[in-house]
Amino acid sequence: TASRDAAWFRLAELRYRKGLWLQAEEALTRIRRTLPPEQETQRFVIHAQCLMQRADFRAAAKVWKDLADSRSRPMWARYNQALAQIKAGDKIAGLSTLEAVGVAAADTEEQRQIRDKANLTMALGAVEGKYWIEARRYLERIPLQGLESNKALLAYGWVALAQQGPQSALAPWVALLPREPHDPAVLE
């Protein structure tokens, strides 16, 4: 019945919050019917997060993909799918998924934040691999104002330093000076 499914869902949530990944998954398997939309989305999230905590990244990527395909916050689910794909060792698929998120149209603030986060993730990976041109391309997609802008400016300075030298790194780093002084990117 619906009340029994609701009880199993609540138990799964509690177990998940306590870090009892296997027990949370077990409770999720007891749910027999589709839950109300918000709970159904949370059901996918709990399942995917439990799988990721257990390092079953391939299975987690599939759950994130199913959530994205269900049209419930697809950009957010695709971003998490990409991270799971990369952690599963499928870097090409993960980067392809991140790229799709990074260039997707964004109608809401949440979608813009996810798109910026995808671009920053790709940029930082490119910086780590010393792929300066790619890093710069991803960073240029991130607006100067937003949740990821400070990290993007810091990274842009590092890219400029590597490509052209200290003078070119100053502009993005100077742009950080008047920003929130407690932000780690500003501090650095």
Confidence of residue 73 (pLDDT cuts 50, 70, 90): low
pLDDT at position 72: 63
Instruction: Give the residue-averaged pLDDT of 45-67.
Output: 94
Q: Would you state the pLDDT for residue 74? A: 84
CA distances (Å), 159 to each of 27, 58, 143, 163, in order? Answer: 47, 32, 17, 6
Check if the beta carbon of residue 186 is closer than 8 Å to that of residue 150: yes
d(CA 26, CA 177): 50
pLDDT tens-place string over residues 82-129: 999 999 999 999 999 999 999 999 999 999 999 999 999 999 999 999
CB 157 within 8 A of CB 173: yes
Residue 123 CA, distance from chain mean position? 13
